[in-house]
Amino acid sequence: MKIIVGSTNPAKLEAVQQIFDHDQVDGIEVSSKVSSQPFCDEETLEGAINRARECAKTEKGVVGIGLEGGVMELENDLYLCNWGALVDSEENTFVAGGARIPLPDSIANELNKGKELGEVIDDYAKGENVRHNEGAIGVFTNELVNRSGMFAHIVQLLKGQYEFYYSKKGDE
Ligand SMILES: O=P(O)(O)OP(=O)(O)OP(=O)(O)OC[C@H]1O[C@@H](n2cnc3c(O)ncnc32)[C@H](O)[C@@H]1O
Ligand SMILES: [Mg+2]
């Protein structure tokens, strides 16, 4: 099976390759068609679905996967949120959400000013390209959970639902 991921971010590609370990996994740049810093679950999920749909359309018979990171507000705190979508060649769409943790107020304030988390977390962690590596989730979990591992869990949820759907279809 060939899988096309709507990103060239190594943290995302690594996650898909880890779960679809017997499949060909390619990454391409696609538009999420949402803001570069999604600010709620709905927008983050929409970005993931848009990316997956775009990928599924590129070649006949391929599976498209979209992974999107964002933030969402809950009871006066801003949380990291992450969503994934898998769209197959029959346009079946499977979605899954990832772990969420609250962000410190100093980070939330910068995001509320309109900055992107990717930029803010580099300053905070005095790192470069944190989003391609451990991610904000890695920084705030002492790297117990990194961005790739967090996305891998989402991809596992997508793969499981996809397999379940086709296992039931076989029973019909
Ligand atoms: O190339 P793409 O696939 O777009 O990868 P990205 O790192 O930009 O990731 P997203 O677009 O999915 O994330 C939306 C924004 O949130 C930021 N972001 C989300 N989660 C993050 C994390 O865990 N660590 C660092 N930045 C994160 C990211 O840098 C973007 O500004
Ligand atoms: Mg992005």
Q: pLDDT by residue (tens digit) across 52-79?
A: 999 999 999 999 999 999 999 999 999 9
Residue 90: what pLDDT?
95
Ligand 2: distance of its center to the CA of 164 in Å?
A: 30
Determine the residue of 28, 131, 155 to mutate for testing ligand 1's pocket, defined as the one with the most ligand atoms within 8 A of the Cβ atom: 131
CB distance 19 to ligand 1 below 6 Å: no
Answer yes or no: is pLDDT of 172 > 80: no
Question: Which tokens belong to 11?
Answer: 């943290």
C-alpha dist (Å) from residue 103 to 18, 72, 118, 141, 163: 27, 10, 13, 11, 34
Q: Are 52 and 65 in contact (CB under 8 A)?
A: yes
- How confident is the model over 102-122, as a mean pLDDT? 95
Residue 147: what pLDDT?
96
Residue partners of 130: CB distance under 8 A and separation at least 6: 118, 121, 122, 136, 138, 139
Ligand 1: distance of its center to the CA of 24 in Å?
A: 24
Position 170 confidence tier, pLDDT thresholds 50, 70, 90? confident
116 CA: nearest ligand 1 atom: 31
Helix 147-171 to helix 10-19 angle, to the nearest 10 degrees?
40
Euclidean distance between the first and the last CA atom of the chain, given in angstroms as a whole number:
23
DSSP percent split of the chain into helix, strand, coil, nearest 5: 45, 20, 35
Ligand 1: distance of its center to the CA of 48 in Å?
A: 12
Q: Are 92 and 125 in contact (CB under 8 A)?
A: no
* Nearest ligand, measured from the Cα of 12: 1
Q: Distance between CA atoms of 135 and 138, rounded to whole angstroms?
A: 5
Domains of the chain: residue spans and CATH = 2-171 (3.90.950.10)
CB distance 147 to ligand 1 below 6 Å: yes
Residue nearest to atom 29 of ligand 1 (CA): 118
Is this structure's pTM higher than 0.90?
yes
- Phi-psi category of residue 76: left, alpha or beta, with phi > 0 → left and psi -120 to 50 → alpha: left
**Amino acid letter for position 125:** A
Answer yes or no: is pLDDT of 13 > 80: yes
138 CA: nearest ligand 1 atom: 23
Answer yes or no: is pLDDT of 45 > 90: yes
Q: Distance between CA atoms of 27 and 10, rounded to whole angstroms?
A: 9
- ipTM score: 0.93
